[in-house]
Chains A and B, each alone.
Chain A
Amino acid sequence: VHGRATRRRVRARSASRVRILLAEDSATVRYVVAQAVEQLGHECTPVEDGLRAWEALQQSDYEVVISDWVMPEIDGEELCRLVRADPDRPYNYFIMLTSLEDREYVMRAMEVGADDFLTKPLEPHELQTRLIAASRVTALHRNLRRRQQQAEKEIQLAAGVQRSLLPDTPPELERASVAGRCFPATNVGGDCFDYVVDDDGRLNVFIADVAGHSISSALLMAMGRSALRREIAAGASPAAVLGATNRAMYADLVSTELFITMFCARYDPATHVLEYASAGHNPPLLGSGTDVVELDADGVAIGILEEVDFEERTATLAEGDRLLLYTDGAMEALDPAGEQFGEHRLHALMGTDAGVAPEAFLDHIYTAVRAHAGDTPQQDDITLVALQATT
């Protein structure tokens, strides 16, 4: 009667029920440890060696592994290495169980990733204190992991929404063809582009780059896109579109300390006239044969000044001329030695693939940029839009 009462009291005191996997080849030790663990109100699954322990860890989840060091098949050191080798597994608090004489193993065990150790003979009080720490540490690890997975899932969802804001297919135009591509550096980015064909058959095209590629950049990118499309739908010219967009977004950009560069153009395939305005964006390149000119127009990035008078310019395209809009992710792509892809390489590419349609041309540019970068991960979003005057 007294024993049962004590057991209940101990059980009530234990912080929370922990699932423990016990890897131990000695039946005697297994019995003693399992009994002690269960008396503390925890759950114990005893197995005879490291291999069975590793198999059990694939089958079910255990918060704690208590493992002997010397075992047939897979020993305690190897088991600990296996548990720690996969960073995606839920955390296991790893306790090495050794004899007093085997203290040398303890250091090795800690070095391969064990969290703690217990010595034989087992002191129930020691076991209890270790399991309190184990329960707390495991819960913390797993909580962090759960939150991280949640955050990653939300970013994935945001990335999906963001991708859906980019146009799927370019509009079909007479006497012009257009294509666009966006390659985000991370799941969510701050780049966007879009095309809108107005009632007069003119192609309105814009490209924008929000500083950074975080969730806030993505949100501002979505706002910017809406503002641009609204002004374009209202029939505004490129400079007016940028002016109105700046007025609409200025307050929000100032408070977030971010800015957006934009380039907005309107092309009339009937006359081959291109009207354009820039809000501090990298000047697009206009290629005519082997000649390449930059299309720049005065205007600062959106969100810098409250009121901006954007300059509007025009250019007339000849048949076969090609216009390339891009964000700085393309130009600033670094190779392993730290050298940028650079404007000169982009210029050089303009004169190549003369007969190639915009879509394939963009693939060539992106391939060239990635080839330059080699193993260097993409640092910034790369967005490209190409427009070509055709017959």
Chain B
Amino acid sequence: MDEQLLEIFRGEATERLDRMTAALAAAERGPIDAATIDVLFRDAHSLKGGAAMMGFGEIGALAATMEAILAPARDAGAVAADALPALVGGVEAIRAAVAGDASALEPAAAALARLG
């Protein structure tokens, strides 16, 4: 694995995950605006693409599941409150996986899947 590439991926992932964490925390406190939801969606989408590029299939799949939940949220202009814990779980699972611990990916995917 290209060390420089791994560095770039970790940097980008961390930046996006931090932004997602902040947006989801704000959503837990009250409604967030359309622009914030849009960024949330795009961060999930770009994480999916970046992970796919790296060959990190599991991370990519989890990001894709989150993107699939965020796409209708973006169109509706609101993130459903009951989706928030699973989304936060997804972000944390990816964060851990990027740091080298992939164990949370599967349970996080299962929690997101339960949202239907």
Contact assessment for B8 and A31 in the assembled complex, using a CB-CB cutoff below 8 Å: yes
Residue of B nearest to A31 (CB): B8
Residue of A nearest to B65 (CB): A101
Question: Is the CB of A376 closer than 8 A to any CB of chain B?
Answer: no
Contact assessment for A27 and B11 in the assembled complex, using a CB-CB cutoff below 8 Å: yes
Count A interface residues, CB 8 Å: 18
The stretch that binds A, out of B18-26, B51-59, B82-90, B102-110, is B51-59
Tell me, rounded to whole Å, the shortest Cβ–Cβ distance linking B58 to chain A: 13
Chain B binding surface SS class: helix
Residue of B nearest to A119 (CB): B52
Q: Given A68-B49, A120-B49, does the pair A28, B42 have CB atoms closer than 8 Å?
A: no
Chain A binding surface SS class: mixed
Residue of B nearest to A101 (CB): B64
Question: Is the CB of A100 closer than 8 A to any CB of chain B?
Answer: yes
Contact assessment for A26 and B49 in the assembled complex, using a CB-CB cutoff below 8 Å: yes
Count of inter-chain pairs, beta carbons less than 8 A? 56
Q: What residues on B are CB-neighbors of A35 within 8 Å?
A: 5
Count B interface residues, CB 8 Å: 21
Of residues 60 through 75 on chain B, the ones whose CB sits less than 8 Å from some CB of chain A are: 60, 64
Tell me, rounded to whole Å, the shortest Cβ–Cβ distance linking B80 to chain A: 21
Besides A26-B53, A28-B54, A35-B5, 10 more A-B contacts (Cβ < 8 Å) are A26-B46, A28-B9, A28-B13, A28-B50, A29-B53, A31-B5, A70-B42, A70-B46, A99-B60, A121-B52
What are 20 contact pairs spanning A and B, CB under 8 A? A26-B50, A26-B53, A27-B11, A28-B8, A28-B9, A28-B49, A28-B54, A29-B53, A31-B4, A31-B5, A31-B8, A35-B5, A68-B49, A70-B45, A72-B39, A99-B48, A120-B52, A121-B52, A121-B53, A121-B54
> Which residues of B line the A interface, CB within 8 A?
4-5, 8-9, 11-13, 39, 41-42, 45-46, 48-50, 52-55, 60, 64
